[in-house]
Copies of this chain bind each other. A is one copy, B any other.
Amino acid sequence: MNAVESSKPDQPINDLIANRWSPYAFSEVAVPEDDLQALFEAARWAPSSSNEQPWCYIVATKSEPTEFERVLSCLVPQNQAWAKAAPVLAIGCTRLKFAGNGQPNAHALHDLGLASANICLEATARGICVHQMAGILPDKAREVFQIPADAQAVTGIAIGYAADPAAAPAELRDRDKARRGRKPLAEFLFTGKWQAISKLAE
């Protein structure tokens, strides 16, 4: 199997995980507030190191155009180009130190990932799509939102409803297709030694 061509799970997994995807083409239809609240409530219930819950989100909807533009301005231009169509944008941030003792939290970024995955899955359950971006301008976000030194902007997050992919520019359709390929299990599931393929991956 060509890893890049695989775009469907090899075995049955939950629909919320199998059907989640990150569209480049968003409809401008607004996301109801109670759905949005549920997405962040889902993040709230993620596990974290020492239950620190280091994640923070700065969110804006198009109903507040100035706030929306401020979040948009913290994405790299290539992401602004498509993300501006989404009705909701957020910046995923994390607190780098434990609140209790000020010590560095080595799992701060990891645990933001745990929380943001919950956002994606709660969204999928509601017919909403989420597209996370590594391509943001963290220094600009720090300045625009006055993010303190002990926290960090990590991801951009576009939230909304997928537009008909056929309506998207061909370039975006191709990027979208490429993103859906996956490595086989044998490339990341080991037993006994690094790169020793687990029998679970056979």
Asked whether, in the complex, the Cβ of B47 is within 8 Å of the Cβ of A192, the reply is: no
With an 8 Å Cβ cutoff, the count of chain A residues facing the other chain is 79
Asked whether, in the complex, the Cβ of A37 is within 8 Å of the Cβ of B185, the reply is: yes
Known A-B contacts A46-B117, A117-B114; A60 and B185 likewise in contact (beta carbons under 8 Å): no
Could you tell me which A residues sit within 8 Å of B by CB distance? 9-14, 16-18, 20, 22, 33-34, 36-38, 40-47, 49-51, 53, 55-60, 64, 67, 70, 106-107, 109-118, 120-122, 125, 132, 134, 145-148, 151, 154-155, 178-183, 185, 188-194, 198, 200-201
Among B64, B111, B121, B200, point to the contact of A113 (Cβ < 8 A): B111
Q: State the oligomeric state as a number of copies.
A: 2
Asked whether, in the complex, the Cβ of A17 is within 8 Å of the Cβ of B183, the reply is: no
Asked whether, in the complex, the Cβ of B117 is within 8 Å of the Cβ of A41, the reply is: no
Known A-B contacts A58-B191, A109-B113, A116-B114; A185 and B20 likewise in contact (beta carbons under 8 Å): no
